[in-house]
Structure 1
């Protein structure tokens, strides 16, 4: 006999998505969002002229982490699920491109960004996290959970 619940299906789906590794991903993305936002605000306020490209990239990373955090929380819907894929894919491309450029041509990034040298200032979490995020999204498609 099926169990009947008074809570909406979307709430049940959201609750089951935010357990285990899903919850850890959201927490880590949230921490990176706070760290990157704080870093970029301080860099931009203190000395934006010293490294406008690097500091603007830190701000872009902050926005991406905020968006990825929100998208993971609400990824039970198709729209937010797509936003999560886009944000995390953009994050992966950003950390790979900026990380590679910061090694190949250090003059481009004389001041560090969140993604410099693949996120070395954040113990390489920015390099590893998008792989886990994309893996989790692939395993937790909204349509698959409703079936």
Structure 2
């Protein structure tokens, strides 16, 4: 079956949904939920008492941006976004492991929790599992993007 290219996007019509289809839909859902959760958490915390734990609140905002970009990449598809999302998932895992270890080693460093505190224990450890699953899915679908 021949694939056609849309003039508005320059992408194959079948290209967009492959990363976000099948098991990818579950990833899209989780990343979408975590985008909203991290953004909401950081916005409320920054408005209420930014001075209490600015690093924690900024890290939650960074998490929201990373989650949002990965969500967009999975929905939109395409090889360039797939590769960029793969890098974002790897960076997300590094952040989760770094912040998780830091919060366990020095509780005083974070007067308030972030999405990535204690490896995401406040979110059922999903923040440490999600980037691994994301990287596996993105690598598996490199030809499908």
The question of a shared fold, defined as TM-score above 0.5 by the shorter chain, is answered with yes
1:11-54 alpha-carbon deviations (Å, 9 max, x no partner): 21323332211111011000000000000000000000001111
User: How many angstroms does 1:83 deviate by?
Assistant: 1.7
Aligned 8 A contact 1:118 1:126 in 2: yes
Match of 1:40 in 2: 42
Q: Distance in 2 between matches of 1:4 and 1:140?
A: 20
1:32-82 alpha-carbon deviations (Å, 9 max, x no partner): 00000000000000000001111111111111111111112223x222112
The alignment's TM-score, normalised by the length of structure 2, stands at 0.89
Q: 2:12 aligns to what SS in structure 1? A: helix
Q: Give 4+ residue runs of structure 1 displaced > 3 Å after superposition.
A: 3-9
Q: 1:4 to 1:140 in 2, by over 3 A?
A: closer
Match of 1:89 in 2: 90
Matched, 1:128 2:135: no
Match of 1:110 in 2: 111
Match of 2:19 in 1: 17
Q: Distance in 2 between matches of 1:117 and 1:111?
A: 12
Q: Distance in 1 between matches of 2:84 and 2:3?
A: 29
User: How many angstroms does 1:109 deviate by?
Assistant: 1.1
Aligned 8 A contact 1:68 1:84 in 2: yes
For these two proteins, the number of residue pairs brought into alignment is 141
The alignment's TM-score, normalised by the length of structure 1, stands at 0.88
User: Which sections of structure 1, spanning at least 5 residues, go unmatched?
Assistant: none
User: How many angstroms does 1:86 deviate by?
Assistant: 1.8
Residue 28 of structure 2, aligned match among 26, 29, 39: 26
